[in-house]
Amino acid sequence: MVELSLVLPPEPDRRWELAKQMGVTSAVLHSLEIGDGKRFWSYDELSRLKNWFEGAGIDLDVVEGSVPLTDVTRFGLEGRDEEIAAFKRFLRDAGRLGIPVVCYDWMGGIRWARTDVHVEARGGSLTTAFDAAKTGDGPPPEGIDVTREELWGNLEHFLREVVPVAEEAGVKLGLHPDDPPRESVRGIPRIVNGVEAYERVLDVVDSEHNGVTFCQGNFAAMGVDVPETIRHFGERINFVHFRDVEGTADSFVETWHDDGPTDMLAAMRAYREVGFEGPMRPDHVPTMAGEQNTKPGYETKGRLFAIGYMTGLLERSRSDPK
């Protein structure tokens, strides 16, 4: 059964209670978005968090983005071996603590990029947008000098090192797509930007522990058929980000979950068809009335709406004949 999940802060507050009131008892830890930006976790810190969540009736199911992985490894800089060793330690710790999924990405230099975070959407709510014409295409920011071939080589090296450890630890890795899924952003090359790129990634180590974070908004921006692509990757999908965009990787606006071009019920049905049973979280929600938009995409009210909508879609998809 799909596990609806939410990014929750590493310390309890109203959002823990709201999650439980909606019936969501699965947490994603992503301190780069909600928290203090921490990414290097010791066993004791993870264990404390795990216990804290558990005591509140919530499972810590995913550590996302905020993992011991930086551009040192992505760009193959000095210190990479130490960082990969730290990542392996982190995977073993996550395994010992029963944290089943780790989501990481290969976006070097710039994380998920937007050129506007105040796009007016339904009823004056706010969403985000990206327009390549506004970023310019290089030269890259000072100090960043990496080719696509180097990025691929570094990713392949990383996978060969860490996937066997993830297997031993019983942790499933999910690579998040580059956002936006372009050839480059601000002149910095990006490689995880399409179906073929994922096929290459999955072939590096053919293991269910080397999988996909299926971020729907990014697949929509790639211009692919989302439900068909869900069926294509099937059991290699280890984690889902549920959201939608209007436009292409060069220029798009994020939409409300129920108001974008993707057939979200067909997507939900596709997850069911492929037997996806992992965590699925709403991603990037609109900022609603009364919210400050200090955390574009990660304010609270839009997530309540998204969980309600996803719950309805799930219920509908479950009533389909098998």
Q: Which residues of 64-99 are buried (b: 16+ CB within 10 A; e: fewer)?
A: bbbbbbbbbbbbbeeebeebbebbbbbbbbbbebeb
Q: Which of 215, 220, 221, 288 binds ligand KDG (CB under 6 A)?
A: 215
For residue 176, state whether it binds ligand KDG (rule: CB under 6 A): yes
Q: How far is the CB of 115 from ligand KDG (least distance, A)?
A: 14
Q: How far is the CB of 159 from ligand KDG (least distance, A)?
A: 15
Nearer to ligand KDG, 275 or 306 (CB): 306
| Token duo for residue 9 | 């802060």
Nearer to ligand KDG, 139 or 261 (CB): 261
189 strand-pairing partners: 184
Contact code string over 78-107 relative to ligand KDG, x by CB under 6 A: -------------------------xxx--
Contact code string over 113-152 relative to ligand KDG, x by CB under 6 A: ----------------------------------------
For residue 38, state whether it binds ligand KDG (rule: CB under 6 A): no
Q: Which of 283, 286, 296, 303 binds ligand KDG (CB under 6 A)?
A: 283
Per-residue DSSP letter, 177: P
CA distance 318 to 322: 9
Q: Which of 74, 190, 241, 269 binds ligand KDG (CB under 6 A)?
A: 241
Contacts of 200 (CB under 8 A, 6+ apart): 152
Of the candidates 105, 211, 191, the one whose C-alpha atom is nearest the C-alpha of residue 148 is 191
For residue 167, state whether it binds ligand KDG (rule: CB under 6 A): no
For residue 303, state whether it binds ligand KDG (rule: CB under 6 A): no
For residue 252, state whether it binds ligand KDG (rule: CB under 6 A): no
The torsion region of residue 24 among left (phi > 0), alpha (psi -120 to 50) and beta comes to beta
Nearer to ligand KDG, 64 or 299 (CB): 64
Total chain residues near ligand KDG (CB under 6 A): 13
| Token duo for residue 267 | 């997507």
What DSSP element (H or E) covers 205?
none
Contact predicate 285/306, CB 8 Å: yes
Strands (E), the chain: 3-4, 6-7, 26-29, 59-64, 101-105, 116-120, 126-131, 172-176, 184-185, 188-189, 210-215, 237-242, 245-248, 251-254, 279-282
Q: Which of 65, 100, 189, 296 binds ligand KDG (CB under 6 A)?
A: 65
Applying CB under 6 A, the residues found at the interface with ligand KDG are 30, 64-65, 103-105, 111-112, 176, 179, 215, 241, 283
